[in-house]
Amino acid sequence: MDIVKTSSVHRNTRLAERLATILMRLYAGDILSRQQLMEEFGVSERTVFRDLERLAGLIELDDFGKYRISGALRQQMRQESLRRFAKLLGADGLALGEGKASFDMLYDALLNETVLIKELHYESMVPRSAQFVRLEHAIRNRQLCSFFYKQKRRLVAPYRLVNWQGFWYLAGVEQGTLKAFIVDSIGELIESETTFELDPAIVAEIEAEDGVWYSTEKQTVIIEVAAEAAHYFERRPIFPRQQLVKKWPDGRLHLRSTIGPSKQIIPLLRNWLTHVRVIQPVGLAQQLRDDIKNYLSKR
């Protein structure tokens, strides 16, 4: 029985790897024939045909008998890529305005080297790109996923791949709790044939969270920002779910931040240590002072 199960797992893994590779190449703009895929994977035409049938809706057959990404998906990708490209650059809220024309202007400026975007350090997905596509495919199909993570086998309903501070995370529900898993640390991935229903509340929580600190227990932090640093915090949110409470005549700011665990905000507070002060909660202010004392005692 164990041999049968192992063989089944290996077949499923090979299938997933083939589908991921096909999708990845089609997304990159390749046009593929069944003969190409037979030779590349060393499988029969019937197997390739079944693989392509599983991708129905995402791909289409052209007049020359070759496969490409479907026209509808290509159009969607163009529109979405503009929006995501602008967001990646932090340009979605710039004075460039809204719409395709504004994004085209930014893109042309980059091409002609009249602007320079710095400090965008993102993790390369190339070494694990097949696994990334497999996770994306499982999310699209709402398939439960089993994988090894932190020395434990997990069964997770995958909801979204999230890029936070340059690294990729899988936002998923394990045993009723929304969690974040580092994609590069996920091992022995198996997509189950069992599907799940999306919970709109979970989707809303993922989209609303500034990062990957998912928690049902939130706390409010009130922070005072010195006048000389206030413009940095007015230009863009630096703290999670940052809101302006009050701007004082002398230029100081009082900000509200909504967080999960304290460790979500402590590194940010440390970065701005000489310009910010925690007003509430008192416990967080004390924790920050203790951290500073411990750091200085080791110097």
Instruction: Read off the pLDDT of residues 226-235 as tens digits, 9 standing for 90 and up.
Output: 999 999 999 8
Q: Are residues 146 and 106 in the same domain?
A: no
Q: Are residues 20 and 54 in the same domain?
A: yes
Cis peptide before 158 (omega within 30 of 0): no
**Angstrom distance (rounded) from CA 154 to CA 175:** 9
Record the tokens describing residue 282, joined without a space. Answer: 């008192």
Q: Are residues 239 and 282 in the same domain?
A: yes
> Where residue 291 sits, what CATH number does that domain have?
3.30.70.920
Q: Are residues 293 and 226 in the same domain?
A: yes
Domain around 52: 2-69
CB atoms within 10 A of CB 216: 8
Q: Are residues 252 and 285 in the same domain?
A: yes
Low-confidence ranges of the chain (pLDDT < 70): 1-13, 75-129, 299
Q: Are residues 135 and 187 in the same domain?
A: yes
Q: Are residues 105 and 153 in the same domain?
A: no
Report yes or no on 117 lying in a domain. Answer: no
Report yes or no on 13 lying in a domain. Answer: yes
Each residue's pLDDT tens digit, 96-132: 444 455 555 655 665 566 655 555 555 554 445 678 8
